[in-house]
Amino acid sequence: MGIELTWTVEARPLADEAVVAAVEAALAHGGRPGLAVEVVLVDDPTLASLHEQWLGDPSVTDVMAFDLGEEGEGAAAEVYASVDRAAALAAERGVEWARELALYLVHGTLHLCGFDDHEDEEREAMRAAEAAVMASLGYAPDPRPHDLEGT
């Protein structure tokens, strides 16, 4: 089990090991270590399609997470992250592409652990958890914190 990884895009700003490490660190922080997660790295059109299918919103987004319920055969959860969105926002914000993508993976995985970001208090807890996990992975603090759109 563990973390299964699929790249559907050619660009790979993170090594497979760094993707797995980001998800595992977020699971550990969120109290769900060992959860079987399928991580799929996609482009903007693919994630926008999923966003419309599951949330009724056709706009591009950065990451989506699905808790599939009980562990059994295969993954118990899925995280889809847009490599395109990470590239665009990293350039816009002046941060490394790899860091931005790692943040999306951490954010999506924290959703699987019960963190949310719809209310101010929840968002503060999510941002603190993101910062703690990113620091544990060796990433410097984000110079310009931002709210992840659509997550």
Query: To which CATH superfamily is domain 3-136 assigned?
Result: Metalloproteases ("zincins"), catalytic domain (3.40.390.30)
> What distance in Å separates the CA atoms of residue 135 and residue 71, rounded to the nearest whole number?
29
> What distance in Å separates the CA atoms of residue 34 and residue 1, rounded to the nearest whole number?
8
Q: How many Cα atoms sit within 13 Å of 105 on the Cβ side? A: 32
* In the chain, domain spans: 3-136
Rounded to 10°, the helix 83-93/97-112 angle is 120
Task: Kindly report the backbone phi and psi dihedral angles of residue 100, in degrees, each rounded to the nearest multiple of 5, phi listed first.
Answer: -65, -45
Q: Are 116 and 122 in contact (CB under 8 A)?
A: yes
pLDDT in tens, the chain (151 residues): 689 999 999 999 999 999 999 999 999 999 999 899 999 999 999 999 999 999 999 999 999 999 998 655 556 999 999 999 999 999 998 899 999 999 999 999 999 999 998 888 999 999 999 999 999 999 988 877 666 543 4
pTM assigned to the model = 0.91
